[in-house]
Amino acid sequence: MSAFTDRADAALADPILKIAVERTAGTAEAKRTIAIDAFPDFEAARTRAAAIKDHVIAHLGPYLEQFEANAVAAGAKVHWASTADEACKIVIDICQAAGAKSVARSKSMLGEEIGLPHALAEAGIGRVETDLAEHIIQLADERPSHIIWPAMHKTREQVSALFKAKHRSPHVEETIAAMAQSARRELRTQMLSADVGISGANFLIADSGAVCTVTNEGNAELSLVPPRVHIVTAGIEKIVPSMPHAIHMLRMLARSATGAALTQYTTFYTGPKRAGDRDGPEEMHIVLVDNGRTKMRDEGLAEMLRCIRCGACMNHCVVFRQIGGHAYGGTYPGPMGAVLTPVLDGLAPNRDLIHACTLNGKCQEVCPVRIPLPTLLKGWREKSWREGLEPTSMRAGLGLWAWVATRPRLYRLGTTIAVRVLRLLGTKGWIAKLPLAGGWTRHRDMPKPAAQTFMAQYKKARRP
Partner 1 sequence: MPRNVALFVTCLVDMMRPRIGFAAIRALEAAGCDVVVPEGQTCCGQPALNSGDRDHAAALAKQTIVALEPYEAVVVPSGSCAGTIRCHYPEIFAHDPEWLPRAQAVARKTWEVMAYLDEICGWRPEGVSMDAMATYHDSCSGLRELGIKAQPRRLLKAIDGLRIAPLQGEETCCGFGGTFCVKYPAISNAIVGEKAYAIDATGADLLLAGDLGCLMNMAGKLHRQGSKIRAFHAIELIAGMGDGPAIGEEA
Q: Which long-range contacts (CB under 8 A, 24 or more apart) does 318-322 make?
A: 318/358, 318/360, 318/362, 319/356, 319/357, 319/358, 320/21, 320/25, 321/21, 321/22, 321/25, 322/11, 322/12, 322/18
The smaller minimum CB distance to partner 1, of residues 14 and 86, is found at 14
Neighbours of 168 (CB within 10 A): 7
The smaller minimum CB distance to partner 1, of residues 29 and 54, is found at 29
- Are 37 and 261 in contact by the 8 Å Cβ rule? The answer is no
Residue 434 CA to residue 422 CA, distance in Å, equals: 8
Find the Cα–Cα–Cα–Cα dihedral 27, 30, 31, 32, rounded to 10°: 120
Strand partners, 232: 199, 286
The smaller minimum CB distance to partner 1, of residues 86 and 352, is found at 352
Residue 25 CA to residue 89 CA, distance in Å, equals: 36
- Are 217 and 258 in contact by the 8 Å Cβ rule? The answer is no
List residues binding partner 1 (CB under 8 A). 5, 8-9, 12, 318-319, 322-323, 355-362, 364-365, 378, 380-386, 390, 394-395, 398-399, 401-402, 405-406, 408, 411, 415, 418-419, 428-430, 437-440, 442-455, 457-458
Minimum CB distance to partner 1, residue 313 (Å): 13
The smaller minimum CB distance to partner 1, of residues 193 and 360, is found at 360
Minimum CB distance to partner 1, residue 249 (Å): 24
The smaller minimum CB distance to partner 1, of residues 10 and 97, is found at 10
The smaller minimum CB distance to partner 1, of residues 21 and 57, is found at 21
The smaller minimum CB distance to partner 1, of residues 16 and 418, is found at 418
- Are 199 and 170 in contact by the 8 Å Cβ rule? The answer is no
Minimum CB distance to partner 1, residue 306 (Å): 19
Residue 462 CA to residue 360 CA, distance in Å, equals: 37
In 216-326, where do the E strands start and end? 229-235, 239-240, 265-269, 283-289
Minimum CB distance to partner 1, residue 255 (Å): 19
Neighbours of 162 (CB within 10 A): 18
What sign does the CA torsion over 248, 254, 259, 264 have? negative
The smaller minimum CB distance to partner 1, of residues 190 and 453, is found at 453
Instruction: Give CA 130 to chain center in angstroms.
Output: 20
Minimum CB distance to partner 1, residue 154 (Å): 20
Nearest Cα residue to 224 out of 167, 289, 270, 290:
270
Minimum CB distance to partner 1, residue 82 (Å): 30
3-class state of residue 384 by DSSP: helix
Minimum CB distance to partner 1, residue 94 (Å): 43
The smaller minimum CB distance to partner 1, of residues 271 and 337, is found at 337
Element (H, E) at 37: helix 15-37
Minimum CB distance to partner 1, residue 460 (Å): 11
Minimum CB distance to partner 1, residue 62 (Å): 29
Nearest Cα residue to 136 out of 183, 185, 173, 194:
183
Minimum CB distance to partner 1, residue 461 (Å): 8
Residue 314 CA to residue 323 CA, distance in Å, equals: 11
The smaller minimum CB distance to partner 1, of residues 69 and 318, is found at 318
